Structures are given as structure tokens and as C-alpha cells.
Structure 1
Amino acid sequence: MNDKALVKVALRYKALYLDIRKEDINMSSEITPAVYSLLERLKEYGYCVSEELLHGLGMVSVEELTDIVAVIEDVMGVELNWSPLVKDWNVPTKEGAVDHFITWIANILHKEVDIRGTTLPCGHLIPEGTFPLERYNGCPYCGTPFVATDYVFKGQGSKLKELRLFTGKELKEVFQSLLSSPTPLDMTQKNSLELLLDEYDVPEGIEISMKETMMLVIRNLVRKEDGDKATSYLKTPTDILRYLWYEKTGQLQIIKPSVLQANARRLGYQMGMAGDTSLTYQERMKEHLKLKYSRKTCKMVAKWMNATSLSAKKAAEDMNPKRGMWVRFIRALRLAEYAKRKGFEHLAEIMDVFYNQDYTTWQGCIDKASKEKEAKKVLDLLKSRPGSFARCLFATMLRFGCEETLKAFEEVADKLPMRLLVSLGNAAEIYFDENSIRSIQTITGLRITIEHNKLLSLYSREERQQMVDAVYGVYKHAMLRRFKDMDTESKTIYIAPELFDIPISVGDRSSTIQDTSCALMGTRFPVEGDAVRLFLQWGKGLHAQHLDMDLSCRISYDDKIEECAYYHLTCTGAKHSGDIRSIPEMVGTAEYIDLSLPELEKAGARYATFTCNAYSCGSLSPNLVVGWMDSANEMTISEKDGVAYDPSCVQHMVRVGDDYLAKGLVFGVLDIARREIIWLEMPVSGQTLRSACREDIEALLKRLQRKLKIGELLRLKAEAQGLEILFDESQADESYTYEWALNPAEVSKLLY
């Protein structure tokens, strides 16, 4: 068993995994020198341990303690290169556009004219009187670093994060909760499940409700050459297509080839015609999406198709929405050939119906009835598919009337998963408000604003508000019925006040991995000190090359906007560590931005938006780490080489996965007056900070503000189950704290 993988998963839940039994722990045992040493290391990285974990550590070998330290150092990036371009960058170098222009001219003319200056290892001549070279770790002109450090600061953090004990029992509970999650897994949960699938077998009889989760299980079975066992999970041809496309693209959703090619073209776009490789990126994606399968895979998929329990007409109807993709897969997988073999009669029947198009589609019937204004027929058809009914509920209300539509919807509301009901409650107010900004997330992860339904103009403001109230009524009654049906022996409940500020994560698909802790988008982190330090580290495990990632910050005032970025290294209350455009060998490089809250408050700043972007062609670099530090204690910046990273001060950090589809990421908004940082994850498509549209960010913040909060859902639970809400955590039968809410898997259990 790979204990390091299990330690890594446990750390995401603020725990350490030990291969012991809790019953065997002696709570009065003495602490060994090895454990004392481990505690000192943990303190340096900003952690402390619970009493149970403290005594549990004494039961494991020194080698296991060493492995724990190694995992934490890897997760926190302790052994990476954290030196920026400028030494002691808290003191500005006062470089400007003139320095770059003079250096550019000098490098053109230096072979013909004798120019006094210094030639750097990268080959660039830096003329005298321009950049103060003694302040730099690399070339200030091209952004190539020459210095790599092997240390970070430790132990400056003013607040330690407590780690609890996880044994095999707790990890198996996490494993089962991920498998049975009623909401789509975010990228962190997905990665944790992949690690746990390598260690544990899927329990028999467990219900996997999410198709995307099912794909991870099937891939694990196929890699173990147990593909035949996947038949029990693959109920429809769309399930099979989802798996095949996941193996091909790494995306758990079925994204059409044309969309992936268009996205690749965006990733290859470069400002300036000389560097633009958009067409090259599109061609690479087109080549990558070509299908080619071994005979072994073809036979396995043919068996899956033949074993589907749907009738041939139902199966063909299921395939119809992705008909173009299915034609390609049928050819690549030789399904027509296998359909002629004995034992594949059902596959042959499906192929025959599909190619002859001898079937009708549910959506076609809906469209026809809607066009002919047959409201009753439309509603009857929608009731046959409750999930589809929920997704088009608002538009149907506008087209066929609120009362009749909601009456039909209530008949099937109890058949819907709770996450869809929550989504309806979250979306109603924005959908029916013509003056609000409607923000959606595209299938590639980008968030954009869209226009409202044109039919809204047919209704008065009062009528639209009545629709919102009616949706809330249906939603609330359905939720109360769900909670009332849940068995509980509790009489009292504690709900932390902070939970009324954290939105329920429904419809927010995360594309980043949170290795140190898990937090729902919209979580607010209080700032303890007078400084917030943003950090960006990229290039881990890659050879030295040009790879330009940029860390930026936009500061918003009532009447103006200031930017701290590679093109403007200092502004009111913000300082940048310098623009690095190339990475050293294997260890990566870093950029920082320091924000001074007293300066920002004095200047009247309202918000600071944190972003990172890939200026180079392509998406954000794999394994790129971005986040922020905060501490009531002063955080040091090295005068020698500019290192400013301290893992004990890290408040939140995320890592970009290998299949990230965007060029940029908005990862936080600092509310300066409230001294709180709102954790966001908003992918953006451009090379610079300016591609992060202010209207889109505001729309996302308003959407998060209007979403159902965890505290409100728990209050509904208390109302339905007759629980008394207490204000003393220790006295309550059920306790829901802020720390509990940082675990999305635990929060999602409310939606069962």
C-alpha cells in the first residue's frame, strides 16, 4: 500500500494518515524524540497536531515519520526554487519603459557601436545607467533567472493549523463519500478518488449517482484489465461515449471536438502577429483527437454496447444528440464488424436502427409540441424526464404560464436530486430579474455573461417577482420534505455564524487542486495582519525553457483602477517582485506581489482582484501553484535573493491540473474594508490581467452572494427535523463549524 498517497489525501482533510488502530493508542504514552522532531518540522510549516494524533505518532516507525515530512514538503513546495527576479524587491528598482527601450537599441547596435555595459549569460547587453544589475537575480531585460535557491523561510506564521488523526477507517469513509457524492466532484476530490482507487476496491452495493464519478471507477477497472466488470456501471451508450472521450481528452464532460479545437485556437493566440500560433494549436488538437484503438479495446467496447439493457430504439435515441461523434467512434472501434459476429445480436440491432434513423427523439417531440403550442403535451413529456424539466423550468414558465408549469413540476419534484433543487433556488432571482447580470460557466470552464430571456419583457416586475416567490415555495417545500424523511436522533444543532456567508457548491466545477486544505468557492478568509502576499510558482519538473506566467493584481477604487503587473511593478499599496519569462531547470521559479492594507485603506481602495495568466502560448503551466500568505507577524523578504515564501504563512493555495483549459485564473478578491479574502476560481481566456472582465467578476460575486448558503440549508434542516438551534457548540447533538465547511465532501452530504 502506498502510504505516501494516503498521507497526501488525508492532508487535504487537515489530517495525517497513520497505519494504526485508534483503539490501540495509549493516551498516556511518552513522546519520543523522533516525534518531538516531527512536531518541530510541522510547526515550521504551520501545523500542530491533536492530542490523539500526538500519541498515535509514537506508534509508527521513524521511516513513516520521515515519509510524512517528505509528503508535506512536497505539497508545500519547500524544495522548489522560490527566488524571484529582484533581490529585496520590497524596495523598488525604479526600472521603467525607458530602460527597456535603451537596452533594446543597445542590443541592436552593440556590434557596430562601442557601448559600455555588462553582457549577461543570456547574451543581452545591459548598458550602464539603465537597470541596477546588483539588484537582480537574472536578466532584467528578457526575464531569464540565473539564480536558484534551495531554501524557504519557516515558522513566521502567527496561526497554526491543527491536524487530526486519520486511520484506514476514516480514509475508507472518505473513499465511500466520494464514490456516492450526489454532486459532481471538484478537481481536488477527483484527484483524491483516483489516488484512493489505486489503494482500495470499490465496495459492493455502493450507489454511484454521478456519471462523472463512474468514469473514474471504470478507468481504474480497465487499467486493471477488469473491463468486463464495468458493464454493470454502463447503462446507456452515452455512458460508454463519456468514458471513451474521457480517456481521450481527460475531460469528464463530453466536450465536442469543434469546441476543443476552438479552445485550442484561443490558447495559441498571441498578441502580435509574430508570436501567434493559434492555427498551429488548433491543428495539434485536431491531430490529437483522431481516434485509433487496439483490437482488445474494440472488443471490450462492443461487449459493453451489446450488454446495454436499453432497446435498440432507445439506445439509438440516446446516441442521437452526439450522432456525429458516434459515427467516428463506430468506425474507429469497428463496431459494424463486431455486429456481424455471433453473440453480438443486440449490437447489430442497435447499429441497424441507428444508421437507418428508425427512431424518434424525445427532444424532437418537445420541439414539435412547443412549436404547435400544445402546452399539456409539452408538460407531460417534461414530466417523463424530471431532470430535463428542472433544467428548462424557468423558460417553460415564461412560455406556458407559471401556475400550470409549477403544478406539473411539483408532481415530479421529489424524483429530482437535491442538487438540482438547490440550483433552482439559487438561479431563480437572477433569471427573472431583467436588471441583473446573468453569468454562466461554459463547458470549457470560462465564465461569461449572457442576455436574459426575451420573454421576460412580456411580464411586469410584479409578475416576475411572483414567479420567483413561487419557485422558492416549490423549492422550499421539496427541501423540507427531503429533510423530514431523513432519520435522526438529534434534538439540538449548532450552526457556526460563518456558514451563513459560504455558498453551497452546486454548479461550480473546480479545475484546480487544493493540496493543503479544501474550501468551497465563496469562502471568506479573514486577514490577520497588515499585509497580504500573493505568490506564483511554476515550472516544477520541466526543463529550462521560455515559459512566461504572470502574477497580477487589480486594485479598484470608486473612481479609478490601478494595476500591479509585469508592466507596472509598483502602484499604491502594491509591489511586484519582477517579471520572469523563462524557467530554470526542473525546479521552477516564482513571482510575488505584496499588498499593504494600511496604504490601500488610506488611499480609499475598495477591492483587490488576484489573477495569474499564461503570457506564453498555451494554458497555465501544469503544476503551477498560486495562492496567498497572511500573518499577524511580519513576513520576511530576503535581501540576498528576494525569497519571500514561508509555508507557515500560507492561508490558501491551489495547484493547476494537467487538463486545465484556460489561459488565466482569477483566484481571489480582497475586500479591503472588511479585511477578508473571498476565494474564487474564475478561468479567463486572455494573456493579461485585463482579460479578466470586471463585469464578469462582479456577476460571479453577486451570484455567489445570492446562492443558498450552508447556514441557510442547515436552518431548513433544523426546521424540517424539529431541531433546536443552540449557540453553544459543546451542548449541541449536531455541530456544524467553519472547519467542517472547509471539507466539500462533508458539505455535499447535506444534499443526499
Structure 2
Amino acid sequence: MRDKKLLRIALRYRAIYLDIDPKEIDLETKPTPAVLAFVARLRENGFSVNEDLLHALCMVSATELADITAVIDDVMGVKLNWATLVKGWNVPTGETRADHLITFFANLIGGAKVGLEGCTLPCGCFIPEGTFPLERYTGCPFCGTPFTTANFVYKGQASKLKELRLFTEEDLKQVYQSLLASPTPLDATQKDSFEKLIDIYGLPDNVEISMKETAMLAVKHLVANGQQAQAQALLKTPTDILRYLWYEKTGYVQIIEPRTLIAQARRFYFDMFGPLDESKYIFGPLDQSEYAGKEMKKKLKLKYDRKHCQCVASWINNLALSPQQATENMNAKRGMWVRMIRALRLGEYSRRKGYEHLADILDAFYRQEQPTWLGILQQARNNRDTQTVLQMLKQRPGLFARSLFATMLRFGCEETMEAFEQVTDQMPPRLLLSLGNAAEKYFDPDATRTVHPITGYTISISKNKLLSLYSPADLRAMVARVKQCYILSLKHSFAAQATKARTIYIAPSLFDIPISVGDRSATIQDTSCALMGTRFPVEGDAVRLFLQWGKGLHAQPLDMDISCHIAFENGKTEDCAYYRLKATGAKHGGDIRAIPEMVGTAEYIELSLPELAEAGAKYVTFTANAYSCGALSPNLVVGWMDSAYPMKVSEKTGVAYDPSCVQHMVRISESNLSRGLVFGVLDVDEREITWLEMPFCFQNIQGCDFTAVNALLQRLRNKLSIGQLLEIKAEAQHLSLAPSPDEADEAYTYEWALNPAEVSALLNM
């Protein structure tokens, strides 16, 4: 079990974990028949091995090689059901809306019972003669219930293989250390890897964890192993304690207030007739939103045993903060703290001997006699007291950074930036970098700004009203001032780092990958760790989107949909989805609305780039949606395939999946809060796909805000790339560029960028 976990983690970094000593590898060893057979199986899944790994494989037994093969097959979904609703769906069936309408009325009046000619299917649906061509389907074309599953997938059709390298215990420990030290929040993939690694390696002594969210995962591990006292070192404020308690309750490392979770639960429950808005429904009897809200409210009720109460009381009592400091920290979530104090019986514990500090904190919390720092700041803002506002903001550099743009507009650019530059050395470079990335969009009165709340959807927000007070030249000067500030700060930070290197290699592909700052992810990437905004070139003339869901679940109605939105040069748009199986340059494999037992089911869309280009298509946006009640199904897998050679479609089962052709795939995590997901945009002219993750809350593609998609895409492309950041580092440290990794003292390759924590470490200065 331990080795299987480590193997899964290594595969995310395009590597295979072997429990060997790399010093014992014999580069003269000839591959054994078992190794050659293993490499052949890897090729079928789209992987190859480098020379070091090939010789290292000779050091493990055939049984271990078989176990590795089984893990890779499981990750790639080889054993799942990839049959679709239509046989040979690359040839359209010709079904129309009229077929669905006629079948609906035929079933309404009784079908065969009233003497109509046709066929009654195992699901109970009556299909009138002359409607759907039933010989083309593997299930019911009317209700979307599959009758056939497939136990095979195509293999080895890929034109390009992904090279795997060797990972040993030492490599995985380095990954673990990079996750512990990450200066940015861990995405869903990193979080999953971290939880597996901390269970295996434990928490190192005297570790410094810079991110609060990462610290919560470590606290969970310590508490689960009865090390509550050791967890105290990671809980330095009341907010840290509240964050852990809420993570333990909800599973989210961010503090999402109860009313938000309740509203989100109501929003997810649609009926089949569709919503009037986010929470109202046409057909009242099928409206489950109120029930969902009540169930979430029940789930969020607080109840703790004595052991838990005493543990939290001790944590708060042992805080190094004064009662006034602790109170100010608690005031931001005052309502939640009132509930927690009652549920944890903190008032009772505060009267016990040895809990005097807890008593003082609770007394100050309820009395509210001390004016808060934020209250004083707001009063100074209302009084337009510029000097007081700037002096107070310098006391809290992080808050100053988050309110910098609004402060510049309200109190003037030069005065604000002069004060800000006095505290930039107290801020992490990632915060300054995020300001530089956001400045151009914020100070553009005509730009669309998007916000991605942690509740699983993306919204467009209005511009700051104060922008109208400034001329375009003034706004451009503000953008330039912010960019100058963060670039100079980065150069100073890099220059302050001691290095013995004289040359540096920067892979060209790194200039297409933006730095991941402020981009949260709710998907798990089991076969690579690409950063959002990474661009994938298309090799062939076809891109095949796929969606697989229902793994490990019993047979039941569960409707997930894959769709795409095609935008043309003339402003025209088309959708290819369950309601339109054939569009310009796109074919859908059929709408499945129920899953078979345990193995799941699949949907596909195939895009023809020559047809799209001929029709004048510019962009194609890929989405996955939960048409059923609730969010996207956990463990749902979505992605796309590409190959320079034609990819087959089965004429018997409709299977069109080949793991070797998969260019990128992601898995929906348990913490997902979204109902829909935009997961890629194809630029037809450039023949490249940009991987992105934009959640939205609607049950089909028609609810997606494509203005927000374009805004997100533009924001990602305007971000500083990894390559550009490394160029700043090279300039600051006077490093010369090397033509290849072998000739450089420091080499930054695409494989290095597969570990986002390592990329983020560049900003941990």
C-alpha cells in the first residue's frame, strides 16, 4: 500500500518510484524480458522511459513490475467502462428533436398498450417505429440509460509518448519538503499528495510551514495521531484554531461561513425543467433547494465531546497573544466564534484553575471595550486623513498590498506608492507578483474583471467608480508604477540570494506557462501537474474530448455532460452538447443519463480542426456539467486526446478512449463545490489548447459566462511566465544563458516545472 501511494505521487511528476539505491544502478545491464514487456505496456498507455529508469527497472522483480502496471492502468482508467450511447458515433445517427417529441407523447399515451408499432426497451421506454435507429445505440436513446458496457480500450495509437524518469525515496522526500515550504496555497493535486506523504513520513521536528492552509493539513495529521500538544506550535492565533475546527467540520481548509455553504447547497439542486434563476424553479414539487439547505444546516450543527473541548480550551489558553490581540483577531469571524464558544463549553473551562488566560480572552471578547485596528483605519478613511491611513497600512503590509489599488485611486498614486515601497521588503514576492499581474486589468476602465470565490463559481465584477476621475494617461502611469515596483523588488530579492552559479538554462516551453499565484484548483491531476494557463500544441487534425464518471458507484440515474462552445470570426456561436449532437466541426457521442454498476460510463466530443478552420472558427471552449442535482461527481475524469494519426471509434460499443493519446486529464476532487467546469480553450488558428479551470454554477453550457472565460484566458496570458521570472533572476544574479541543460550550472526544464511547489519556491525569498 505504501509503495502504491508513492508510485501514484511519482506519476504526477512523470516519474516511476522504485525502492532502490540509485548508486547501485548498472548502466551496462541489458533489459530482461520482463522489463521489455513492462516497457511495451507503458507504450500502450502513452509512456516511454529514459535510460536511467530503463536500467533501474532491471533491479526490481517481475512481480513489482506487474504491480506498477496495475497502478498505471488504474490511474489511466483502462479497466473502466468507456462505451458510449451510440455505436460508431463518428457517423451521426440523424436523430432529431422530433424523434424525442414523438417518443415522449407515445410513452405518455401508453405506447404498445394502445396499439402503436414500435419496441419496448429494458428500461421501460417505448420507441415508436420510424423514430430512432435502434440498431445504432447501445442503450435507450430516449432516457439515456446504457445497456452495454465495454471491457476494452484502444491502446498505442499515440504519435508522441510522455517520457518517464526515475524517482527514489530521496526524490519523494524532496517533493514533500517543497510542499511543506510552499509559499502559495496547495492546489487539490498537491494537497492530495501532501496528505499521502505526511501519513508515510510524518511531520519533521521544528518545521516551519508558511501557508496556513498547509498547516491545517499538518494539524489534522497530528490530532489524528494523538499529538494535540505538538499541534499547538502550528496554531498561533484564534483564527488558526477556528480554521482547523471548520476544516474538521466541512473538509474545506478555507473558512467558508455557514450561510454561504447553506446558500450553495440550495443553488445546486435543480429540477429537470431548469431554473428561473440560481435558486427558484419552474415546477415547485421537484424543487429540492429548501430541503438541501435544511440538510446542510443540520450537517453544520456543532457538537463536541469533552476531550475535544478540553483540547481547544488548552490551545486558546496557551496562545502567546494578549487578550486584546486575540479579541481583535476573533472579531473578523465574531458570529462563528460565538457559536464555537458555546459548543466547546469554553465558558465552563475558563472558570477552571490554570485557564486564566482563556478567561481573560473571553472577557475581552464579550466586553468589546477596545477599539479595533480596522475600525480606526476605517474612521481615518472616512475623515480623508491620508497620513494616518498610510501610516496604519504600513503596520500591516499584507493588508496594504491587498488594498493598494483602491488606496492609489483614493489618496493619489505617488504618495501611496512612496509609503508602499517602504514596506515591500516585508512582503513575500508572490504578493508583489500578484499585484503586477492584476494591475493592468484593474486600471483598465473597459476590461472585464473576474473573481473566483472559493464557493465554486466565477463571476464578473464591476470596475472601481474612482477610475472615472483619472485620464487614460494617469491610469497607464499607475500600471507602470506598480510594475516597476514589483520588478525592482524581485530583482533585489534575487540579487540578495547567494549563488555560485554562473550559467542558467531556461527551457523555451517555460515561457508559455504562467506563474501560479492566486489560482486555486479543485481538480487532481494524476498524470502530470500542469499549471493553469499551460498551452498544449495540437499535433493532429482532431481533438477528442472525454468525460468518464460513476467509478465505484452503484447503478443509478446520474447525469453528467460534456459540451463545447464554438465561437466564429463573424460573431456567430454554436454549441455541441446533449441537445445538439452535431455542430460545425464537432460530433457528440450521445447523452447518457444513468450509470451502470461500479464501472461508470463515458461521453465524447470530437473536434475536426480542418472543418473548424474552414468555417472560420476562432475558439472552442470545453466544459463539463452536472445536469443531475448537486455538484460534479467526485472522481469524474475529464480531459482531451490528440494524435497525429487517426484515432479509432468502435462500431460495436462506441469506445473511443486510448490512454496513449491522452494529452491532459484531471479528476474532480471531493472538495469540489462547482456545478460546471470550463477546462480548456482551443485556439483554432494557433492549433493549441490552453488548460484552465473556471468553475460555474449552471447545469449546462448555456449558463456559462463566456465573457468571464475570455477575461480569465486573457488574465492568464498577461501573467508573468515562469520563463520571464527566470530571466529576471538571471539578470539580477548576472547569470549567462546556456544553450542546453548539460552546459548550465542551474537548469530549469519542463520536468522541473511539473512540481508547482518547486516553481513557487522561486518566490519564497
Cα offset, 1:483, TM superposition:
0.4
Cα offset, 1:62, TM superposition:
2.6
Cα separation, 2, equivalents of 1:435 and 1:107: 53
Is residue 2:56 matched to residue 1:44?
no
Residue among 360, 376, 380 paired with 1:365: 376
Cα separation, 2, equivalents of 1:120 and 1:286: 42
Q: How does 1:102-113 map to 2 (within 5 A)?
A: 102-109=102-109, 110=111, 113=114
Equivalent residues of 1:268, 1:280 under 8 A apart:
no
* Higher mean C-alpha deviation, range 433-442 or range 229-238: 433-442
Cα offset, 1:469, TM superposition:
1.2
Correspondence for 1:244: 245
Cα offset, 1:359, TM superposition:
2.4
Cα separation, 2, equivalents of 1:222 and 1:134: 58
Correspondence for 1:96: 96
Cα separation, 2, equivalents of 1:317 and 1:5: 43
* Higher mean C-alpha deviation, range 132-141 or range 703-712: 703-712
Cα offset, 1:205, TM superposition:
3.0
Residue among 403, 423, 430 paired with 2:414: 403
Is residue 2:616 matched to residue 1:604?
yes
Cα offset, 1:681, TM superposition:
0.2
1:220-261 CA distance string (max 9 Å, x none): 111111122100110000000001111111111111111111
Correspondence for 1:168: 169
Cα separation, 2, equivalents of 1:365 and 1:238: 21
1:620-656 CA distance string (max 9 Å, x none): 0010000000011111100110000000000000000
| Sequence identity percentage | 62
* Higher mean C-alpha deviation, range 722-731 or range 175-184: 722-731
Correspondence for 2:395: 384
Cα offset, 1:466, TM superposition:
1.2
* Higher mean C-alpha deviation, range 85-94 or range 106-115: 106-115
Equivalent residues of 2:153, 2:656 under 8 A apart:
yes
Is residue 2:597 matched to residue 1:585?
yes
Is residue 2:81 matched to residue 1:81?
yes
Is residue 2:465 matched to residue 1:454?
yes
Cα offset, 1:730, TM superposition:
3.4
Correspondence for 1:482: 493
1:56-92 CA distance string (max 9 Å, x none): 1122223322221111111111111100100110011
Is residue 2:427 matched to residue 1:426?
no
Correspondence for 1:747: 759
Correspondence for 2:277: none
Tell me the secondary structure at the aligned position of residue 199 of structure 1.
Answer: helix
Cα separation, 2, equivalents of 1:715 and 1:43: 36
Equivalent residues of 1:447, 1:684 under 8 A apart:
yes
1:535-567 CA distance string (max 9 Å, x none): 000001111111100000111102200110000
Is residue 2:375 matched to residue 1:374?
no
Equivalent residues of 1:430, 1:436 under 8 A apart:
yes
Is residue 2:620 matched to residue 1:619?
no
* Higher mean C-alpha deviation, range 358-367 or range 653-662: 358-367
Residue among 634, 651, 674 paired with 1:662: 674
Cα offset, 1:474, TM superposition:
1.3
Cα separation, 1, equivalents of 2:55 and 2:305: 53
* Higher mean C-alpha deviation, range 45-54 or range 167-176: 45-54
Equivalent residues of 1:19, 1:168 under 8 A apart:
yes
Is residue 2:295 matched to residue 1:281?
no
Report the aligned-residue RMSD.
1.2
Q: How does 1:257-276 map to 2 (within 5 A)?
A: 257-270=258-271, 271=274, 272-273=282-283, 274-276=285-287
Counterpart of 2:562 in structure 1: which amino acid? L
1:564-614 CA distance string (max 9 Å, x none): 000000011110000000111111100000001111111111111000100
Cα separation, 2, equivalents of 1:622 and 1:241: 27
1:423-463 CA distance string (max 9 Å, x none): 01101111111111111211313221111111111111111
Aligned residues between the structures: 752
* Higher mean C-alpha deviation, range 281-290 or range 58-67: 58-67
Cα separation, 2, equivalents of 1:61 and 1:248: 44
Tell me the secondary structure at the aligned position of residue 679 of structure 2.
Answer: strand
What TM-score comes out, normalization by structure 1 length? 0.99
Equivalent residues of 1:493, 1:733 under 8 A apart:
yes
Correspondence for 1:326: 337
Cα offset, 1:733, TM superposition:
2.0
Equivalent residues of 2:13, 2:751 under 8 A apart:
no
Counterpart of 2:175 in structure 1: which amino acid? V
Cα offset, 1:374, TM superposition:
1.2
Tell me the secondary structure at the aligned position of residue 645 of structure 1.
Answer: coil
Cα separation, 1, equivalents of 2:724 and 2:495: 16
Correspondence for 2:309: 298
Correspondence for 2:21: 21
Equivalent residues of 1:313, 1:358 under 8 A apart:
no
Cα separation, 1, equivalents of 2:687 and 2:112: 54
Cα offset, 1:105, TM superposition:
1.2
Cα offset, 1:26, TM superposition:
1.5
Counterpart of 2:43 in structure 1: which amino acid? K
Counterpart of 1:705 in structure 2: which amino acid? R
Cα offset, 1:194, TM superposition:
0.5
Q: How does 1:485-500 map to 2 (within 5 A)?
A: 485-500=496-511
Correspondence for 1:72: 72
Is residue 2:705 matched to residue 1:698?
no
Equivalent residues of 1:499, 1:711 under 8 A apart:
yes
Cα separation, 2, equivalents of 1:729 and 1:36: 29
Counterpart of 2:476 in structure 1: which amino acid? Q
Correspondence for 1:229: 230
What TM-score comes out, normalization by structure 2 length? 0.97
Cα separation, 2, equivalents of 1:147 and 1:644: 15
Counterpart of 2:443 in structure 1: which amino acid? F
Equivalent residues of 2:456, 2:697 under 8 A apart:
no
Cα offset, 1:372, TM superposition:
1.1
1:399-425 CA distance string (max 9 Å, x none): 111111111111110110111010011
Query: Runs of at least 4 residues of structure 1 off by over 6 A?
Result: none
Cα separation, 2, equivalents of 1:456 and 1:140: 54
Cα offset, 1:111, TM superposition:
6.1
Cα separation, 2, equivalents of 1:269 and 1:498: 43
Counterpart of 1:600 in structure 2: which amino acid? L
Cα separation, 2, equivalents of 1:282 and 1:268: 9
Cα separation, 2, equivalents of 1:112 and 1:207: 73
* Higher mean C-alpha deviation, range 402-411 or range 589-598: 402-411
Equivalent residues of 1:445, 1:683 under 8 A apart:
yes
Q: Which runs of 5+ in 2 are unaligned?
A: 275-281
Residue among 473, 480, 504 paired with 1:469: 480
Cα offset, 1:112, TM superposition:
5.1
Equivalent residues of 1:120, 1:139 under 8 A apart:
yes
Correspondence for 1:211: 212
Counterpart of 2:229 in structure 1: which amino acid? D
Correspondence for 1:115: 116
Equivalent residues of 1:82, 1:149 under 8 A apart:
yes
Counterpart of 2:517 in structure 1: which amino acid? V
* Higher mean C-alpha deviation, range 485-494 or range 682-691: 485-494
Counterpart of 1:632 in structure 2: which amino acid? A
Cα separation, 2, equivalents of 1:374 and 1:67: 68
Correspondence for 1:505: 516
Tell me the secondary structure at the aligned position of residue 680 of structure 1.
Answer: strand
Equivalent residues of 1:439, 1:703 under 8 A apart:
no
1:176-216 CA distance string (max 9 Å, x none): 00011011111100000001011002222332100000000
Cα separation, 2, equivalents of 1:725 and 1:91: 52
Cα separation, 2, equivalents of 1:401 and 1:600: 49
Q: Which runs of 5+ in 1 are unaligned?
A: none
Tell me the secondary structure at the aligned position of residue 606 of structure 1.
Answer: strand
Cα offset, 1:732, TM superposition:
2.3
1:36-65 CA distance string (max 9 Å, x none): 221111111011111111121122223322
* Higher mean C-alpha deviation, range 29-38 or range 68-77: 29-38
Cα offset, 1:615, TM superposition:
0.5
Cα separation, 1, equivalents of 2:60 and 2:369: 65
